[in-house]
Chain A
Amino acid sequence: MKYIDEFRNKEAARTLINSIHKEAGEEQITFMEVCGTHTMSIARFGIQEVLPENIRLISGPGCPVCVTPNHYIDHAVALSRRDDVIVTTFGDMMKVPGSSSSLEREHIRGNDIRVVGSTLEALQIAEKNPEKNVVFLGVGFETTVPTVAASLIQAQSENLNNYSVLSAHKTMPEAMKALSKGDVSIDIFICPGHVSTIIGTKFYYSLVEDYGIGCVVSGFESLDILQSILMGVKQVVTNDQKVENQYTRAVKPEGNPKALETIYAVMEPSDAEWRGLGVIPDSGLAIKDEYSSWNTAKQIKVDIEDTIEPKGCICGQILQGKKTPPQCKHFGTDCVPDNPIGACMVSSEGACAAYFKYKVQ
């Protein structure tokens, strides 16, 4: 397929791998990626295995489903139990265990929960079911948020008052800043490709200036990731930390202004809770008051059960790069994708799911 196969060329991969080995030196270099699709690509292409031993790749909080706290799942479960509500969601939220149930279990019990591929489908469900309140579970980062914001603008313009969004949207920059201040030492951030298509590259300069961490915005194919690692290695060995953009075919310095405009027409920065990282100021996006008619939290009141965290699950530490999946006693034994204990094993973009699927040690 065009613009995919060329970026997986084996000869070019070999050249890049050789260059990385030549340049890497002996000091440990730690890369953190903060995008679930990077987590999957790295595992799928076996990238860690072809790198010199002193290069360590760790995953950060890049999987939107994984960083969504249990309380949110419990809220969605409570909504789904109301007869007047249809819950719509992206598929990877279905299996995430909440405190005592999951959306999948509620669906099996007969509650009306529908998997959609886009917010546009959720809007159509609302149009066809005027007697029901159709709730869309708004989970995701800057890549997804504009698509949700666009749906709220459309709902307002069409006076579609039975559609609303339960927003748990998050933004990556403040989380990266929190990680930079944390106790995991990171040399280079592999910056999220598609989040960057929206927000551009401007923010990353503050990570270089304030924390001395180099930033490389990367694409998702094997050559993209290898080239990004080579760029990062060169930054570290020459002590020349900077912002570099490997994914120039999709990421512009200014991002996508129309998408940003759409987000900020409807939403505003707010504090947000991240599984593993706690509450990070200004790391979320909340629906503005003028759109509160389409804000589920303001429109539909439900009793939400007390939050119980899964016992022994180290998902929170994995999301901070403090531990890797095989260090968890449940990994691959009683926690597997079909029967997950924690969110990192559920989502197709979770670190545990990636390690399990591609048998990373």
Chain B
Amino acid sequence: MCVAVPMKIKKIKDDKGVVGIGGTEREVSFKLLNDIQVGDYVIVHAGFAIQKLDEKEALETLKLFKEMEQYT
């Protein structure tokens, strides 16, 4: 039931909009999120964006993986 794919916001109109990833697009509701803008990545579940993806945190996690590789 949970789709774990982060999708990029392409359009916002009122509390709806379009998100996309890898060539596919779909319409979603933004009723469950505040403070979003075009270009943000969001986690989409059952037609609703349920959380904004924190790109800074994503990069931090990836940096940690890189550092681990260097020290092992």
Write the residues of chain A forming the contact surface with B, with a CB cutoff of 8 angstroms.
1-4, 6-7, 9, 11-12, 15-16, 18-19, 35-37, 64-65, 90, 92, 117-121, 140, 143-144, 146-147, 150, 193-194, 197-198, 219-221, 223, 227, 246, 248-252, 256, 258-259, 262, 349
Could you give 17 example pairs across A and B, Cβ below 8 Å?
Answer: A7-B61, A36-B1, A37-B4, A92-B1, A118-B48, A143-B45, A147-B29, A147-B48, A150-B32, A193-B4, A194-B2, A219-B4, A223-B65, A248-B60, A256-B33, A256-B50, A349-B1
Residue of B nearest to A263 (CB): B32
Q: Check if B57 is an interface residue, CB within 8 A of chain A.
A: yes
In-complex Cβ contact of A2 among B6, B50, B66 (8 A): B6
Known: A3-B58, A248-B54, A249-B53. A64 touches B47 (CB 8 A): no
CB neighbors of A among B27-72 (8 A): 29, 31-34, 41, 43, 45-48, 50-51, 53-55, 57-58, 60-62, 65-66, 68-69, 72
Complex Cα gap A349–B32 (Å): 25
Which of A4, A65, A194 is close to B50, meaning CB atoms less than 8 Å apart? A194
Inter-chain contacts of B66 with A (CB < 8 A): 12
From B34, B45, B65, contact of A9 by CB (8 A):
B65
The 10 closest A-B CB pairs, nearest first, are A118-B47, A249-B58, A220-B4, A248-B57, A12-B65, A197-B51, A249-B57, A259-B32, A37-B2, A194-B2
B53: A residues at CB distance < 8 A: 3, 249-250
Chain B residues positioned under 8 Å from A9 (CB to CB): 65
> A118-B48, A194-B50, A250-B43 given as contacts; is B32 within 8 A of A146 (CB)?
yes
Residue on A nearest B68 in the bound complex, by CB: A15
Q: Do B72 and A258 touch (CB < 8 A)?
A: no
B contact residues around A246 at 8 Å (CB): 61
How many pairs, one residue from A and one from B, have CB atoms within 8 Å of each other in the complex? 126
Whole-angstrom distance between the alpha carbons of A147 and B47 in the complex? 8
**When chains A and B are docked, how far (Å) is the Cα of A220 from the Cα of B45?**
14
* Beta-carbon contact of B65 and A249 below 8 Å: no
- Complex Cα distance, B65 from A15, in Å, reads 8
Instruction: Give the dominant DSSP class at B's interface.
Output: mixed
Chain B residues within 8 Å of A349, by CB: 1-2
Partner of A143, one of B2, B31, B54: B2
Q: Which residues of B contact A223 (CB under 8 A)?
A: 65
CB distance from B18 to the nearest CB of A (A): 14
Q: Are B68 and A249 in contact (CB under 8 A)?
A: no
Q: For A9, give the chain B residue with the smallest CB separation.
A: B65
Which B residues are CB-close (under 8 A) to A194? 2, 4, 43, 45, 50
A9 to B61, CA, bound (A): 13
A220 to B33, CA, bound (A): 22
**Residues of the A chain whose Cβ atoms lie less than 8 Å from the Cβ of B57:** 248-249
- Chain A hits for B60, CB < 8 A: 248
* A249 x B5 contact (CB < 8 A): no
Known A-B contacts A143-B45, A146-B48, A147-B47; A249 and B1 likewise in contact (beta carbons under 8 Å): no
In the bound complex, residues from chain A placing their C-beta under 8 Å from that of B1 are 36-37, 64-65, 90, 92, 140, 143-144, 349
The residue in chain A whose Cβ has the minimal distance to the Cβ of B66 is: A12
- What residues of chain B lie closer than 8 Å to A4, measured between beta carbons? 5-6
